[in-house]
Amino acid sequence: MLHPKDRPYAKSQIVRYFAQNGITGYTLDKVDSAFYFCGDGTFGATYLWPSTEVLVPRLSDLTCEQWLKELNKLSGANNGN
């Protein structure tokens, strides 16, 4: 089990942390110095979100908890939250 303050070094760790928190259907793709959420999961399809971009060069630049906050923030923008 991943702790919220853990720093992930693989996309699979982030996906597993999301699942621990009841969120499924998302992964991350890396392009240059940014990551992009992709998938169709708990909060709907990412192609409908205004943005899916998180500007960090490495997965480990954010904790698991911070990645979850980014997912919530970006998906909430689509839902008007």
For the chain, what are the domain ranges?
A: 1-61
Q: Per DSSP, which regions of 1-81 are E strands?
A: 26-31, 34-41, 44-45, 53-54
Per-residue pLDDT of the chain (81 residues), as tens digits, is: 888 899 999 999 999 999 999 999 999 999 999 999 999 999 999 999 999 999 999 999 999 999 999 999 999 844 544
**CB atoms closer than 10 angstroms to residue 75:** 21
pLDDT at residue number 78:
47
What is the predicted pLDDT for the residue at 75?
A: 92
How many CB atoms neighbour CB 76 within 10 A? 12
pLDDT at position 77, please?
A: 47
Residue 55 is predicted with a pLDDT of 97
